[in-house]
Structures are given as structure tokens and as C-alpha cells.
């Protein structure tokens, strides 16, 4: 605490200072006030978050459950009637479902990026947000995983995607990007879940003992199952920390590989607009971009509702916004490069697709009958506006320090990234090499319902998570905090 003497009276001046200056740079991490708290306070704050929720929480969950129910009913209709009930047809074999799949896989990138990549690079601001981002990854990948199964039209035969011994000695084609995708997504999901659960173990032990301290024995028993007899001995910590580091090292190439492999689902095909080497970095940058935007979309309300200003500080929001801004520029550059390469390649088919995308020659749908509006055309302009133009205000620190502005921009980015996926999936299939092979696509209500349901599924799981498990890594917050020292400050 800073203090000054005015007329013989000691006055605390810290409250009038800007946020960053309140932090003692020698204690905790600069910009995250919570790292100046003592261990007990961090425990208490986290336990308080898991107390009985406000009635409005149940209302919110009910809203998400309604969306989920809509999705479930739509899914039942889709499975019962068959894939013909969707707008998918020749030549547009991939519509909303693959768009949703690519979108949700992208959302799932932020968690591992924050928990693994920023762990290896020792970015201190990740500490307060990585647990929630990691949970988001798990839920997003679970959501994404449903779509390829659904898209097959016969999800009960999904096991055909896995190489298993059978009487006809038929195996999956390992030269197909779709088989690569099965391996990439299942590996990513498995590693994300294991990484998430591993990080939770010490925190579950904390919650177990805090529940016991508060006389909540049933809660303590439930937490004890996940704590797996964790006591925090040096023998446990040494193996845990080494294992955690290895998980981070394994997850880092995985996070870059999985969306590269998803991009090759497209890039390996010879369709104009898809067959390009830029797709892997373009998809990965887009995934990080959309994932971080989703992190902010969910964490800003969490920060406000749970009053977590000391944990998810402006410093943290600023850092995330800076990464969003950086990836926005990569995405914008990739959009420009696509157009340049289409022109420079000299291929008339590439040029045609990239001419069709912005100039609406693919007009497929009419609002009034005489003013055709193309769904892919709408997707293109929304994509450019939301992903390239909307993030520009984040260059200003004033905007980055305005939570409402950040939340709106991040919401727009989520919309823009969904439409970017649709733009890639839909428009190239609509217009390939020969006009005889051109077609139109318009989603059915069932597809829209399942898409809404996927958001319901994701947000329901996330809402349950923030009230059932500690949404911040207590152990890492303590590790970042100033340890109790009898002989003064600790040197980092």
C-alpha cells in the first residue's frame, strides 16, 4: 500500500491511483492484483464462486437448455428422416454441419493455446483464465465431434471411420484427409480432456478440504473422487509438474496440427477456392482468433457476475485483445493473399470463384423476387466486416479497457468466423469447374435448429462448469502469488 504524510496524518493514496500502479511490482505478477493475495484468500474467493447460485443463473441455464432442446429435436428429425431433410445436395455436399464442425474445432483452439503454448512461453497473464479456456476447449471439441458423425447421415455406423478388423479385410483409407481428421480430432479431444483433468487434481483436493472445513461432507466426498488422494507432498508435486510440462509440450504441436489437418479436408481437394497451400496457417490463425474471441465472450460476463476484477484484470483483457488483434491481421492478410493468388495463378476457375465471392454472381436467394441476395455473398461481407474491420478499434487501449466494447467486438468476431467457415465450405462447392455442375444451397430449419442446439450444448456445459468446478486454477494462482516469507519479499 502506498502512503504519504500530509500535515502529520498518514493517508492511503493507493485508491486514487490508476489500477496498474496499485500493484507492487515486487509482489505477485504485475497487472494481476490477485497474485498479491495470500493463499487463504485465493481459496476463499474460489470457494465463494461455487456457492449457491443466484436465481438468474438458473434462468440463464434454462435459456441454454431450451436451445439445446431445440437442437435435440432437430437432431432427432434429421436422424429419423435422413440427410435428405437438410439442404445438402449435389453439388453442395458440405453445408451447415461441416461449417459448424470447423467453427467449433476453431473455438476449441484457444484453451490449449492458453493452457499449453502460453504455459511454455511463461506468459503470467494466462493464470487466471486458462482453466475456463481449457474447459471451453473440451466442450467445443465435444460439440464439434458431433457434426461429422451427424453429417454421415447414419451416425450409428460411425465406427466405420475407425480401422478395426472385419471379415472383409477392409480398412479405412489412410491417404484420405477424412481419415486423418478422425485421428486428429479424437487425439485432440483425448489429450485436451486428459490435460484438463490432470490440472484439476490439486484443485479438487483444495475443494475437498475446503468443503470439509465448511462441514459439507457430501461435496467433500464428490471432490475427493476427482482429487485421487492428492495431499500436495513433494513426491506428488515433482511428478505432477513434470507430467504437466510434458502435456503442455505435447499439446503445443497438437494444437497447431489439428486445425491444419482440418484445413487439409479442403486443401487436398482440387476444388477452386480450396486447393491452396495457405490453408493450414490460415485456419490455425483463424482458430486462435475465434477461440480467443469466444474466451472473452464467456469470461467477461463471468468477470462481472462473480466480481473477478482482481483476477481477470484489465491487464489480462488487454493481453488477450492484443493476441486477437494480431491474429485478426493474419486472417485479413490471408483473405488478401487468397485473392492475389487466385489472380496470380492465372487459373480461370480460381479467378471465377474469387470474383463470385464478393461480387454476388452466385446470387441464389431472393428477398423480394427481383433483388437477389446470395447467402454466400452475405457470408463474405459479414466475414470481412467482423474479422477484419470490427477488431480495428482494439488498436486503442481505451477500447481494450472498455469491457462492453471488447465483448461486442468479440461477439462480432464469433459471428464473422462462423460465416468465414461457411464462406469457405459453401461457396467453392456452389461453383466448381463447369456451369453444368453448379448448384445452390439454402439451409433447412433442421440445420438451423441443430446449429442453434450446438450453441445451447456448449453454453449449457460451460454454465454448469463455472458453478461445479473451480473456474480458475487455484494451484497456479497460488504459485504466481507471493509466498508467505518471514524474512521479507520473495524474488521471482
Partner 1 sequence: MSTKFSGVWGTFEYLDDTTEAIEELRKKGIEPTVLSPCPRHEIDHALGEPQSPVPFISLFFGALGCLIGYSLPAWTASDWVLPVGGKPIVAIAPFTIIGFEMTILHAAIFTLLGLTILIIFDSLKNPIPKAAREYLRFQRDRFGIVVRCEASQYALYEDLLKKYQAEEVYVEKG
- The residues that touch partner 1, with contacts defined as CB under 8 A, are 38-40, 43, 163, 169-176, 179-180, 183-184, 187, 190-191, 194-195, 198, 202, 205-206, 208-210, 212-213, 228-229, 231-243, 246-247, 250-251, 253-254, 257, 261, 475-476, 478-479, 483-487, 490
First to last CA, the chain: 20
Q: How far is the CB of 252 from partner 1 (least distance, A)?
A: 10
Cell matching residue 215: 462441514
Q: State how far the Cα of 275 lies from the Cα of 260, in Å rounded to an integer.
A: 14
**Least distance in Å: CB of 243 to partner 1?**
4
CB-hemisphere CA count at 13 Å for 96?
A: 21
- Shortest distance, position 62 Cβ to partner 1, whole Å: 35
In the complex with partner 1, which residue's Cβ is closer, 98 or 191? Answer: 191
Minimum distance from residue 223 beta carbon to partner 1 (Å): 11
Q: Which residues pair with 5 in a beta bridge?
A: 10
**How crowded is residue 178: how many other Cβ atoms within 10 Å of its Cβ?**
13
- Contact, 232 vs 205, CB < 8 A? yes
Taking the CA atoms of 36, 38, 39 and 40 in sequence, report the sign of the dihedral they define. negative
Cα separations in angstroms, 241 against 20, 234, 247, 475: 31, 10, 10, 11
Closest distance to partner 1 from the beta carbon of 289 (Å): 24
Q: Report in angstroms how near the CB of residue 260 gets to partner 1 at its nearest.
A: 9
Task: Return d(Cα 487, Cα 397) in angstroms, integer.
Answer: 39
DSSP-assigned letters across all residues of 305-318: HTT-TTTS-HHHHH
User: Which one, 95 or 470, has the nearer CB to partner 1?
Assistant: 470
Q: Which is nearer to partner 1, 434 or 487 (CB)?
A: 487
Q: Which residues contact 450 (CB under 8 A, 6 or more apart)?
A: 71, 74, 75, 78, 96, 97, 100, 150
404 or 485, CB closer to partner 1?
485
Q: How far apart are CA 389 and CA 382, in angstroms?
A: 10
Asked if 79 contacts 155 with a C-beta cutoff of 8 angstroms, the reply is yes
Closest approach of Cβ 226 to partner 1, in Å?
13
Shortest reach from residue 250's CB to partner 1, in Å:
5
Query: In whole angstroms, how close is the CB of 311 to partner 1 at the nearest point?
Result: 16
CB nearer partner 1, residue 66 or residue 187: 187
Q: Which three cell numbers stand for residue 450?
A: 441443430
CA distance 420 to 327: 14
Nearest to partner 1 of 27, 351 (CB atom) = 27
Distance CA 46, CA 273 (A): 48
Q: Toward partner 1, which CB reaches closer, 183 or 438?
A: 183
10 Å CB burial of residue 396 (0-12, 13-18, 19+) is: exposed
* Nearest residue (CB) to partner 1, 224 versus 299: 224
Name which of 39 and 381 has its Cβ closer to partner 1.
39
The whole-angstrom separation of Cα 399 and Cα 446 is: 39
Closer CB to partner 1, 127 or 423, in the complex: 127
Q: How far is the CB of 246 from partner 1 (least distance, A)?
A: 5
Amino acid at each position: 500500500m502506498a502512503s504519504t504524510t500530509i500535515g502529520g496524518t498518514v493517508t492511503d493514496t493507493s485508491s486514487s491511483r490508476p489500477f496498474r500502479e496499485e500493484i507492487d511490482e515486487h509482489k505477485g505478477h504485475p497487472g494481476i492484483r490477485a497474485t498479491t493475495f495470500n493463499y487463504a484468500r485465493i481459496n476463499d474467493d474460489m470457494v465463494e464462486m461455487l456457492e449457491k447460485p443466484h436465481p438468474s443463473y438458473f434462468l440463464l441455464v434454462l435459456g441454454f437448455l431450451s436451445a439445446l432442446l431445440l437442437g435435440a429435436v432437430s437432431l432427432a428429425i434429421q436422424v429419423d428422416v435422413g440427410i435428405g431433410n437438410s439442404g445438402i445436395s449435389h453439388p453442395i455436399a458440405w453445408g451447415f454441419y461441416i461449417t459448424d464442425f470447423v467453427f467449433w474445432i476453431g473455438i476449441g483452439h484457444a484453451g490449449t493455446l492458453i493452457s499449453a503454448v502460453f504455459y511454455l512461453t511463461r506468459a503470467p497473464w494466462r493464470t487466471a483464465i486458462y482453466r475456463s479456456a481449457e474447459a471451453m476447449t473440451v466442450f467445443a471439441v465435444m460439440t464439434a465431434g458431433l457434426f461429422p458423425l451427424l453429417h454421415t447421415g447414419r451416425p450409428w455406423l460411425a465406427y466405420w471411420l475407425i480401422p478395426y478388423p472385419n471379415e472383409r479385410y477392409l480398412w479405412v483409407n489412410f491417404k484420405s484427409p477424412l481419415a486423418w481428421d478422425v485421428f486428429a480430432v479424437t487425439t485432440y479431444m483425448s489429450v485436451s480432456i486428459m490435460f484438463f483433468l490432470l490440472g484439476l487434481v490439486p484443485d479438487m483436493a483444495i475443494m475437498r478440504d475446503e468443503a470439509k472445513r465448511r462441514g459439507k461432507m457430501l461435496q467433500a466426498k464428490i471432490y475427493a473422487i476427482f482429487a485421487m488422494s492428492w495431499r500436495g507432498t513433494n513426491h506428488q508435486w515433482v511428478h505432477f509438474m513434470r507430467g504437466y510440462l510434458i502435456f503442455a509440450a505435447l499439446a503445443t504441436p497438437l494444437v497447431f496440427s489439428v486445425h491444419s489437418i482440418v484445413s487439409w479436408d479442403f486443401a487436398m481437394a482440387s476444388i477452386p477456392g480450396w486447393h491452396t497451400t495457405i490453408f493450414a496457417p490460415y485456419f490455425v490463425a483463424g482458430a486462435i482468433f475465434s477461440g480467443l474471441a469466444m474466451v472473452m465472450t464467456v469470461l467477461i460476463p463471468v468477470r462481472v457476475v462473480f466480481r473477478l476484477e482482481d483476477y481477470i484484470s484489465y491487464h489480462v483483457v488487454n493481453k488477450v485483445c492484443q493476441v486477437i488483434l494480431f491474429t485478426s491481421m493474419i486472417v485479413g492478410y490471408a483473405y488478401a493473399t487468397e485473392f492475389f493468388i487466385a489472380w496470380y495463378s492465372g487459373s480461370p476457375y480460381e479467378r471465377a470463384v474469387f470474383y463470385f465471392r464478393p461480387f454476388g454472381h452466385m446470387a441464389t436467394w431472393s428477398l423480394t423476387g427481383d433483388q437477389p441476395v446470395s447467402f454466400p455473398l452475405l457470408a463474405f461481407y459479414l466475414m470481412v466486416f467482423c474479422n477484419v474491420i470490427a477488431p480495428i478499434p482494439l488498436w486503442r487501449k481505451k477500447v481494450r479497457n472498455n469491457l462492453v466494447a471488447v465483448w461486442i467486438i468479440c461477439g462480432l468476431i464469433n459471428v464473422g468466423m462462423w460465416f468465414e467457415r461457411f464462406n469457405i465450405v459453401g461457396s467453392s462447392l456452389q461453383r466448381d469447374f463447369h456451369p453444368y455442375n453448379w448448384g445452390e444451397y439454402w439451409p433447412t430449419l433442421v440445420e438451423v435448429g441443430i446449429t442453434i442446439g450446438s450453441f445451447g450444448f456448449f453454453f449449457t456445459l460451460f454454465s454448469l462448469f463455472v458453478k461445479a468446478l473451480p473456474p480458475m486454477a487455484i494451484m497456479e494462482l497460488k504459485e504466481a502469488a507471493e509466498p508467505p516469507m518471514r524474512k521479507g519479499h520473495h524474488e521471482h
